[in-house]
Every structure is written in structure tokens, then in C-alpha cells.
A = this chain, B = another copy of it.
């Protein structure tokens, strides 16, 4: 088997993806907004030959700011700009809403990042579905139909702006005095129902032509948008069956748009706490998540369909409870929760296994992460993984030092970057302007 898996780092506030990360030993509590720290973390991922760093954007929702930092970085573009200057190969994926940004502004800023980074940028084009996001703009969230309608127009328009200079238009010939070939720089003159632009954009091609498109979401609308435009899909899936079905849906959508399904790479998330053994990892997660403990027991009750509020935290569930437990059909995480419970872990440890997190969780030595990733990858559940470390301070290094070498040894992960651009490293085709197959 020759195909290798792809790996990206999901990055946020500078602390990590567990709410208590900012309080851990060695973590500077002022890391939020400290770009020295951001760059150090990205360099750690590049040392591990990660394909990209990926920045979500939840519009700074402050869920519980008394106890927890905002989820994301100060600003996705400034963060990736800083990383671009101080790394050389890692890809740079930022989220920007198609609903709350003008396409021309997205086009110029992502193309600038692409040129600045010598061809390493990608745009995670999302429609933003929350009323919290809309409230920042003084509006209500538009309907799904309008959001996706605008998204299709916006991505098309942005790609057209990216392609408004011909590939060879920029000649910058000092001797003849020709800066660029006027005839190869054309207005785009697109006017849709939602957005429009005359163009052209003023920015020449990058080393990879233009940024890649990324999408995150799992609905039918997401399949359509990603199938049409995306090279990378950031998935949210809990089981191999789930993941395989999602991946196939995106591949089928790509095919509908006349694309080779292999052009679209589906990524499954994993949240990682990598330590020397399971016990150390569980203790670390208990320390990281104590704020959410009682809330999570309430969830677990629903997932297993049994009352747990009187259970002692340090005891396993009773035989009777385990016999009565039924995984909830409404929560795809439930079967795994029951499996962990049946292994005899205490209630505290069941929760610490991350059975109520947003993605599959690895809590233990590196080989457990490697085994999980190999199993999913070989089952055709995904083309790669996006990693959400518990604490960035030491969690990225733990993955790089304890998981990556095993994957490399097993022939599952590249030992070095294949090329200089993100497209080369992901193995997605060159592109410039709107893909002619996509014109409708």
C-alpha cells in the first residue's frame, strides 16, 4: 500500500483544546495574543511534517470567559501571516465566512497570504450558521438556502478574481519596461443574485497558482459545495462507518461536478492526550476538564440511558447499571462510551477517556494514536486526520515525537515534504481561476 495519510494541526487560542489548558504547568497564561508562542507551535508541527495548520473561526464566542479563554486565535489571517514568515513548508488554512465577508476582501487577503507564503494558503469557506455570529453584524442568520446560495456565488467569484491575471501575465522585465501583459489581465464581470465584482484583482499568481478551497460541514449542502470546489474537507465523525459514509458522499458529489474523487481529501478529527501510559493520560485529562465534570456526567446519563448522579466518582458502574445501559441512538458517541464503561473504569475515568468530546479522543501512549489512525485510514474512513491537541505547549511535541515516528515506520506517513507548495504536498491538482469543469 503506497498511499500515505495526511495530517493537519487544528490551532486556536494558543493554549489548547481542553478548557483547562491555560492553567497547566509551563503554560504562560498570557499566551492569548502572544505571537512568539503561536509561531513556536507552528514550527513544532512543521518539525513533524504536518501538512497544514488549520484555524477555525467561531467569531469569538465567549462561552464561559470567567473560566475559559476564547476558542480561537486573535485573527486568523494575522496568525497565518506570522506563521508564513517563520516556517517554510507547512500549509496555512484559515476559515472565513462566505456570509459575513465581501468576496473581494476574501480574494485579496487569501491571495496575498498565498503569495507571501510562496503557495501555501487555503480558504476554509464556511457559511456560518449561528445566530451568535450574525449578531456581531447586527443581523439575523440568513436561511440555509440563502447562505449556501451566496456561498456558491462567493467561491466562484473569489476563484475568478484569483485567476484574473493570466498565469504568465507578470513579466516584470526591467530591461524592456514591461511590468505585466495588459492583455492577460482581465476583468471578471460576475454579477450573481447575492454578490458581484468587476475585478480584476491586482495580485499576480503564487507558486501554487491560487489557494485551495477547504470546507467544513456534513450536510447535503456541504457535500454539494465541497464536491464542487473543495480540495480538503474538515470532517466531524465519530465512527469508521460514519466517516466512510461522509467521505463517500463528498467523493460522489465531486464526481457529479466532473472531478476526480481523489481530488477531494476527507479529514477526520482526533483529540489527543499523548503520554507514556493510559493512567498518566487519564490523570492529565481529569486535571484539564474538572470544570466540566458534572455537566459531562449529565450527558453520559443520557448516552447510556441510566441514572448516574448518585454514583461514586471513583468506582466503576455497577453490574446492574451496565446490564441496563443502552447506547442512545441519537448520539453516535454512545457505543464507545458503553464500551469504555464495560472495561471497568471508574466514572471519573470514563469521562476522562473523552467519551463526550467533539471527536474521537486518544488518551494514552503514542502507539494508541497510531493504531487508531492506521485502522481508520486502511478502512477507507478518511484520507487524513486533523489533530486537536489537549494543550499546545507540550501536546504538539508529544504527537510529533511519539506518534509521527510510528506512522513513518509503518509506511503510513511521509518522512518529508514532497514539495514546496500546499498543492504539491497534499497531492491536489494545480488550479488557476475557476475550474472550467465547474462552470455551470
The interface of chain A, by Cβ under 8 A from chain B, is: 22-23, 27, 29-30, 32-33, 35, 59-62, 65-70, 72, 74-75, 77-78, 81-82, 85-86, 100-102, 104-105, 108-109, 111-113, 115-116, 135-139, 172-174, 177-182, 185, 190-191, 195-204, 291
12 contacts between A and B (CB under 8 A): A23-B174, A29-B172, A33-B203, A59-B202, A66-B181, A70-B203, A74-B111, A74-B112, A75-B113, A77-B78, A100-B104, A100-B105
B178 and A66 contact, CB distance less than 8 A? yes
Which one of B33, B70, B182 contacts A65 once the chains associate, using CB atoms below 8 Å? B182
Instruction: List, in ascending order, chain B residues with CB within 8 A of A191's CB.
Output: 138
A136 and B198 contact, CB distance less than 8 A? yes
| Chain B: minimal CB distance from A325 (Å) | 33
Instruction: List, in ascending order, chain B residues with CB within 8 A of A30's CB.
Output: 172
Which one of B65, B86, B105, B197 contacts A101 once the chains associate, using CB atoms below 8 Å? B105
Given A33-B204, A136-B199, A139-B196, 20 new contacts (CB under 8 A):
A22-B172, A29-B172, A35-B85, A60-B203, A62-B200, A62-B202, A65-B179, A65-B182, A69-B179, A70-B203, A74-B112, A74-B115, A74-B116, A74-B203, A77-B78, A77-B109, A78-B112, A102-B102, A138-B196, A138-B198
A201 and B60 contact, CB distance less than 8 A? yes
A78 and B81 contact, CB distance less than 8 A? yes
Measured CA separation A66–B72 after assembly (Å):
42
A67 and B23 contact, CB distance less than 8 A? no
A195 and B138 contact, CB distance less than 8 A? yes
Which one of B32, B70, B115 contacts A33 once the chains associate, using CB atoms below 8 Å? B115
A109, closest chain B residue (CB): B75
Which one of B135, B137, B174 contacts A22 once the chains associate, using CB atoms below 8 Å? B174
Measured CA separation A172–B34 after assembly (Å):
13
Which one of B27, B60, B177, B204 contacts A108 once the chains associate, using CB atoms below 8 Å? B60
Measured CA separation A204–B174 after assembly (Å):
47
Measured CA separation A200–B135 after assembly (Å):
10
B67 and A177 contact, CB distance less than 8 A? yes
B180 and A66 contact, CB distance less than 8 A? yes
Which one of B60, B82, B200 contacts A85 once the chains associate, using CB atoms below 8 Å? B82
| Chain B: minimal CB distance from A241 (Å) | 37
| Chain B: minimal CB distance from A192 (Å) | 8
B65 and A185 contact, CB distance less than 8 A? yes
Instruction: List, in ascending order, chain B residues with CB within 8 A of A174's CB.
Output: 22-23, 27, 29
Measured CA separation A108–B59 after assembly (Å):
9
A197 and B60 contact, CB distance less than 8 A? no
Most buried by B among A77, A78, A82: A78
Instruction: List, in ascending order, chain B residues with CB within 8 A of A86's CB.
Output: 85
B66 and A104 contact, CB distance less than 8 A? no
A111, closest chain B residue (CB): B74
Known A85-B82, A198-B136; contact A75-B179, beta-carbon cutoff 8 A: no
Measured CA separation A86–B82 after assembly (Å):
10
A100, closest chain B residue (CB): B102
B137 and A196 contact, CB distance less than 8 A? yes
Measured CA separation A62–B181 after assembly (Å):
12
Which one of B70, B82, B101, B105 contacts A202 once the chains associate, using CB atoms below 8 Å? B70
A131, closest chain B residue (CB): B198
Instruction: List, in ascending order, chain B residues with CB within 8 A of A180's CB.
Output: 65-66
Measured CA separation A198–B191 after assembly (Å):
31
Measured CA separation A109–B73 after assembly (Å):
11
Nearest 7 interchain pairs by C-beta = A138-B196, A60-B202, A75-B112, A74-B112, A135-B198, A29-B172, A70-B202
| Chain B: minimal CB distance from A150 (Å) | 12
B66 and A182 contact, CB distance less than 8 A? yes
Instruction: List, in ascending order, chain B residues with CB within 8 A of A78's CB.
Output: 77-78, 81, 109, 112-113, 116
Instruction: List, in ascending order, chain B residues with CB within 8 A of A137's CB.
Output: 102, 104, 196-197
A33 and B116 contact, CB distance less than 8 A? yes
